[in-house]
A and B are shown apart, each in its own frame.
Chain A
């Protein structure tokens, strides 16, 4: 079984709809991240969490919110989706050791906002 799972894998939604992307991990890591990937822009950090009570904004948090329900679960919400939020979204984890530790990514969610 995959260590980092994301649901759904693909989603098409309409402008103005609320949508939630979910991430679960079995690696036992404390740190979890949400990124979006756009062609030519690489990976941009949306939110990150160092533990259940510690949630921080990343580079592009406007229009997004997150919830860390447990050590293993980290959800990303788009309160009112807009077309420029069409992208590939990745969840990642890393352990609570040195901050330079490897990040483990989920398989991604392809989101299309029409």
Chain B
């Protein structure tokens, strides 16, 4: 079973701090790594995504860092705000999988304390 391992399961960060969520994968055929953000009572929504040909992608306060040799990628939220409190899911897309299905991490519940 292909897996994406996500950590930590929960995270509390002070307002203004940096939130870091990590994911690791095993299958080297993954070639697309999205992050989804889910607010309470809502479905997940795409936040940011990266392909393995780049080591970093930044969109506003959100940055994905990608380490292909270590098979790890992480989400950094700079200047974390209470509105960032949500559950975050990493995922990976296996390029060689004919079923074309995302493999999901277990999620991280992030709480930003005012």
Contact = CB atoms under 8 A, between A and B. Distances in A.
Interface of A: 4, 40-45, 48, 56, 58, 90, 92, 99-100, 102-108
A107 B43 contact: yes
Contacts of B73: none
B43 A41 contact: no
B89 A45 contact: no
Chain B interface helix/strand/loop/mixed: loop
B45 interface: yes
Interface string B75-108: 0000000000000010001000001111011110
Contacts of B105: 42
Given A40-B106, A100-B93, A45 B101 contact: yes
B107 A42 contact: yes
23 contacts: A4-B43, A40-B9, A40-B106, A41-B106, A42-B104, A42-B107, A43-B44, A43-B89, A43-B107, A48-B101, A56-B99, A58-B101, A99-B93, A100-B93, A102-B46, A103-B46, A105-B42, A105-B43, A105-B45, A106-B43, A107-B42, A107-B43, A108-B42
Interface string B34-46: 1000000111111
Interface of B: 6, 9, 31-32, 34, 41-46, 89, 93, 99-102, 104-107
Contacts, number: 46
Contacts of B101: 45, 48, 58
The residue among A42, A45, A90, A92 with the most chain B CB atoms within 10 A of its own CB is A42
